[in-house]
Structure 1
């Protein structure tokens, strides 16, 4: 299909009839901010692939410039220059917005000198076509990420009327504009007045403090624990979500006679006392401190440091039942000996633990200290989505490079503090900027000498900075923090000292100049800047990414991704999602370094699985099952299923030291359910197994199965019912797998019998095993439940779900074929009614046999595909394909490096007249090439993930 026809069809699809083939890039679309995506994602994609752009946008806000600058920096590397036409209309654009725009070297900014300029149009030049986005969205964070906005995206050729009209309008605006320069900006600063915004009249009386959206369910959960007679509970809550006031609400509800608030620093104790008194009220004499300098032991509400309280002499003065409610702040520290002395001594009615990070670096079991009663949990991502924290704009930047040498874990100190690197760091910090009139930044580096030397060089360059390390006492730390808050210095440079327990709400920059050692520490450091503060609209987070082995941890930490799935981590790097109105941005070189790190690490190694298992076991206080991993967002159960060293979850439990006794037959059955069904890509077999497990006699009828499938919205026909029989009788696996058949690998005996096609029943051997071995029953039931939970990710109405992943064996099963013929299938197999085609788009090795097939994505809509060789147009399989009677299913993966899974791109049709016999490879063997046209226009994220280099 030629480009002109593709373009015409795309326009007709959007503006005339959907009967014409659509095109993801070219078909007119209505853009909005919803669960499917945001307007910014479309604008960002256009930016990343354009050859230039001209925008006419009246209003621009500072909070959108950080992610914009990240893209512009990559465009600058490509030599692409662009233009924005904006205005000073109504004084909406702050002077700082223009100052930040002026920092972008490849951007020309023009100020439109026309009264009432209120345009919102984005024109992108792609060389042979242009794309325009016009609607209600200004270039503001709210408009592009959050608000109810509409925008129409349309593409047109250079000769089209729309292109001519938009270009003429832009030219007219350009004639009535002047360049942004220092003179204009100075004048604007002098005459600018902040727009008057509506104010809410406050009442004479102070409004009562009410629980926020995190605190309300947490309080309800704590109330239930107390009512049930439970004596301990843990709340996991991200920094900045109101843990202190949550504690005050809980204490006021409990009404203790004596209360203790236990912390590790006197400064926190003092602030907490003030918050509790402001909320609970009462005379000042009710509130007291038990610290190194104060000993108000008789206070009703006592705020103590663990260093003082844990002293034997102090504990002796307070009886075990003196206190009836104890709140332990930063509860992840409670495994330390000093805290344990406190736990051993007191016998209150209730212990409440609160922490943002229960995962301990020293592997101590925090959950056990609170009897595994996790009352409530809100992590960073959920808190950001709920708007409870200041949004952040994260930018992953490549670290300084000179003569091909990049920062690594072992880089010499002289290289880390070299003048050229310091200048590079300061230039990047200035380019991306911050919210507010002055920088208040926290810089994390890797070594104490580095911190001290960087502070000296930052200060010499006009950015006052002080280094703080663990050698500095509390008084000095407090003094330096005060200097930062008061504006006397711009930066504190430290080495992991401020990971937790430090409250500097005015921080507007967090800079990471070190290797990411753990996800926990990364989130702790990121969280330092996320407390809300008057006038703070966002925090800029700059991460200088060198050639570190642990770079793969960055996308995992940012997205709280504990799935241990490499493909998911790759997507999070190439297509980072927004979190509420926070954005994640990777410069191209930085993203490449993360991907290189991902290729070298084994996220699903036994070491990682053991650690994840122990963490969840600590959290639950019992042996976790696969469904627990699914439920609690820990390692994906699919990782256990895909591990070639594990037959099933029972064998994993044996490896971690649990007592698991299974017969060879029981192991084989569990292996079958785990390897073949647990992925949930078709729920049908799992639904039948669940029905049989629930039935007292382990039997059910075909009508009952059909009804249960209909209830789940799953398709049912004679072919799929026959396929269920083939799968659960193991007949499908009567194919060779090394020295054995696959059927023999799974024990050879059917799981389910279906005599006379009337009633289904567990095979006698399976029924007996389920009755005899309670653990086997539990593991079998767990695998079925987990598979059904995972099946929710797929559309049960149809065989394949668009853009989900399948391997060749999955496809054989879901096409209802009687045998698993995936091994000899290779690139395709022409069945009687359906033909799956598997394409590996980027060939890893040009010498490999399949590299001679150049499957190019043409016009974003069709792929040139080749049959095996030797084949001719007259070959029977080619004739069946060209007849149009065989439905083609197209599956594509990026490269062999990503594994066996292919993305389903939907049905495809052969473009009429495109089939040609061609000679390929060094041997010039004949094959038939043809264009496969996608039925569904390819989504942007899949195009970028699969086809772009």
Structure 2
């Protein structure tokens, strides 16, 4: 099997991390981009070297999927460690194992602690839990690869407490741009759903309370679906089984061909097959289909289970991001915009790295009232945020005129060059969270940046990398930017170094006054 370019890059990056001594590393790939294929190929590589590998997951479907993909893509068969099935005595060098089974001490002790050379954790955002940690600590000498689709910074920060590094990441927008995932359009249907009475549990909403809060709106939601997804193949996520069953009945009364599936459905496989074969055009479920189920022809997803957890939200939406012949885009219908909770996940959070941009995107999508392409919506929101920041920067510069600083404030520099990734940076790994080193402090000062405002080593490293890249590209320095902005010139962060220097020389030669005929508002220095 020939891997896609990003899959091959990911495969090589993971092996390099292990070779370099980063024994616990992460691979982040969006749902639908073939993460199981990537780790299957990594397993193939290490098996050739004689290694033993354990694939660890928390659900039977994920283990079966991993075993199936491994055999299809590499020819390797594997043993299973789950419930009454055991791999002890097997000659297979790959084992797929259930964490629920392996966390049992008696089961673990059947293996020597150095039995496995490598451990692959599917859906790695779960691995901080006690059960996973019990297994991982027992096989402490093994290389570990955590594979996840989550884009969530909160999750990454938690994962950073266990993993040493991030080997490779492919973002959702990158996968869409390169044609490996379906474009996403989002539309907000502004039902005023009041969640103020809904309780909290483990950092998210209580599902029992959510079901009660949602019930009065099910008829209205079904009516709205007639407008947007009558001719689409739709998956609906709901908080409770009884809510899912009730909504299925309502949809069928409205003329949809809807089916419901839950953990106790005896005919689950048959319903899924019928849905894939278009006997049904809507599939309702209570969080059952968030992981390990693929139906590429799904072209509409409705999340009626409001959540604050981006990894969960992206898993739900990921059921519709795969490509399929004749499928033009995935339509994401957001019914839950008007709430008392501002931290709810919305379509914007799938691709926006910055909180401000996500908030602006959500506002813009709501105002539009028609489906908007998420990538285009992000570009527009980012432009809006930059305009707001430039206005704020102008006020800040006015206040800073009297300040005689030799070095440039890093926040001012980030805003000047419109560096979203710098201004919204959050450290994930242990080394990033510590204070900047003396070497970093001296380097930043030499580059013209005031290091006192840099809170951690990770931010210092990213800023130095950006400064070095700008120097190599011949762009304006922080000091040039600050000086010219004080004279009222805009977008100086995009100017060439030579153009900035020439203008500064002209201003200096004119007694540090603007030369005649130079209007900062109209001057294009880039």
Tell me the TM-score normalized by structure 1.
0.40
Question: What aligned pairs does 1:206-285 form with structure 2 within 5 A after superposition?
Answer: 209-254=1-46, 255=48, 256-281=50-75
Which is helix-richer, 1 or 2?
A: 2
- 2:344, 2:376 → 1: CA distance? 13
Matched, 1:583 2:377: no
Q: Which residue of the other structure, out of 499, 512, 519, is the alignment partner of 2:290?
A: 499
Q: Alpha-carbon deviation of 1:647?
A: 11
Deviation at residue 561 of structure 1 after TM alignment: 2.1
How many Å apart are 1:280 and its aligned residue?
Answer: 2.5
Distance 1:818 1:477 in 2: 80
Give CA-to-partner distance per residue, 1:437-464, whole Å, 9 cap, x none: xx2x211345655433221100122213
| Structure 2: segments with no counterpart, 5+ residues | 198-212, 367-371, 389-410, 412-421, 438-448
Larger % of strand: which? 1
Structure 1 287/535 Cα, relative in aligned 2: closer, same or farther at 3 Å?
farther
The alignment covers a number of residue pairs equal to: 439
> Which runs of no fewer than 5 residues in structure 1 stay unpaired?
1-208, 401-405, 577-581, 599-603, 605-611, 628-640, 659-669, 671-677, 688-707, 733-789, 801-811, 820-830, 835-884, 891-905, 908-934, 937-949
Question: Separation in 2 of the partners of 1:551 and 1:226?
Answer: 37
Alpha-carbon deviations, 1:825-867, whole Å to 9, x = none? xxxxxx9757xxxxxxxxxxxxxxxxxxxxxxxxxxxxxxxxx
> Would you say 1:407 and 2:212 are equivalent positions?
no
Question: What is the Cα-based RMSD across aligned positions, in Å?
Answer: 5.0
In structure 1, distance between residues paired with 2:214 and 2:363: 29
Q: Distance in 1 between matches of 2:375 and 2:142?
A: 48
- Name the counterpart of 2:104: 311
Q: Which residue of 2 aligns with 1:527?
A: 318
Whole-Å separation in 2 of the counterparts to 1:709 and 1:377: 26
Task: Write the distance in 2 (CA, Å) between the matches of 1:335 and 1:261.
Answer: 16
CA deviation after TM superposition for structure 1 residue 572, in Å:
8.2
> Which residue in the other structure is 2:433 paired with?
623
TM alignment of 1:732-751, pairs within 5 A: none
Q: Is the 8 A contact 1:444 1:512 kept in 2?
A: yes
SS of equivalent residue, structure 2 residue 295? coil
Aligned 8 A contact 1:260 1:326 in 2: yes
Secondary structure, in 3 states, of the residue corresponding to 1:528? helix
Does structure 2 conserve the Cα–Cα contact (< 8 Å) formed by 1:555 and 1:573?
A: no
Query: How far apart are 1:542 and its partner, in Å?
Result: 2.1
**2:346 and 2:362 in contact (8 A); partners too:** no
Q: Which residue does the alignment assign to 1:712?
A: 474
Where 1:365 maps in the other structure, the secondary structure is: helix
- Work out whether 1:649 is the aligned partner of 2:440: no
CA distance in 2, matches of 1:263, 1:710: 45
| Structure 1 residue 342 displacement after superposition | 0.9
1:484 aligns with 2:275: yes
Q: Are the counterparts in 1 of residues 348 and 374 from structure 2 also a CA contact under 8 Å?
A: no
C-alpha distance in structure 1 between counterparts of 2:159 and 2:361, whole Å: 32
Q: Deviations over 1:184-226 (max 9, x none)?
A: xxxxxxxxxxxxxxxxxxxxxxxxx012111211222223233
Partner of 2:217: 416
TM-score by length of 2: 0.68
- Residue deviations 1:138-175 (CA, integer Å, cap 9, x gap): xxxxxxxxxxxxxxxxxxxxxxxxxxxxxxxxxxxxxx
Which position in structure 2 is the counterpart of 1:345?
Answer: 138
2:247 pairs with 1:454:
yes
Rg comparison, structure with higher value: 1
Q: Tell me the SS of whatever aligns to 2:297.
A: coil
* Residues 710 and 465 of structure 1: CA distance in aligned 2, closer, same or farther (over 3 Å): closer
**Cα deviation 1:491-510 (Å, max 9, x = unaligned):** 22245443333333332211
In 2, Cα distance between equivalents of 1:257 and 1:832: 71
How much does 1:343 deviate?
A: 0.7
Q: Secondary structure at the match of 1:369?
A: coil
- 1:308: Cα distance to partner? 1.7
Deviation at 1:712, TM superposition (A): 2.7
